[in-house]
Amino acid sequence: MKTIDTTVNISLKYPVTEKKLSALIKSGKTEEKYLSHIFALFADVPVPDILAFAEKFDIRLPVIKTYYLKHVKKYYPNHELEEVFTFK
């Protein structure tokens, strides 16, 4: 799943691990210094890779959906990801 590490950390001062991203999502919270990483995850990473990331870190789809709707959609809507929410 190198795509996630590469995509979310590109050109950013503070790199973040997949483990840290998963912990943020599971907690339902954000940290300001990781907002760009979070936005990149939901806006730039292909949906199949987001789903693989969620499976790898045992993040249920409803948790991903809630986090996306609360913290990301307003700024970076991802219609392809939203379609997944309607089918699961």
pLDDT of 88 reads 54
**What DSSP character marks residue 71?**
I
1-59 per-position pLDDT tens digit? 556 777 778 777 788 999 999 999 999 999 999 999 999 999 999 999 999 999 999 99
Is the distance from CB of 30 to CB of 24 less than 8 angstroms?
Answer: yes
As a whole number of angstroms, the distance between CA 16 and CA 8 comes to 8
Report the pLDDT averaged over residues 64-72.
Answer: 97
- Residue 72 pLDDT level (bands cut at 50, 70, 90): very high
What was the pLDDT predicted at 11? 74
Question: What is the C-alpha R_g of the chain?
Answer: 12
Position 13 scores a pLDDT of 78
Q: Tokens 């993040």 identify what position?
A: 59
Q: At residue 82, does pLDDT exceed 80?
A: yes
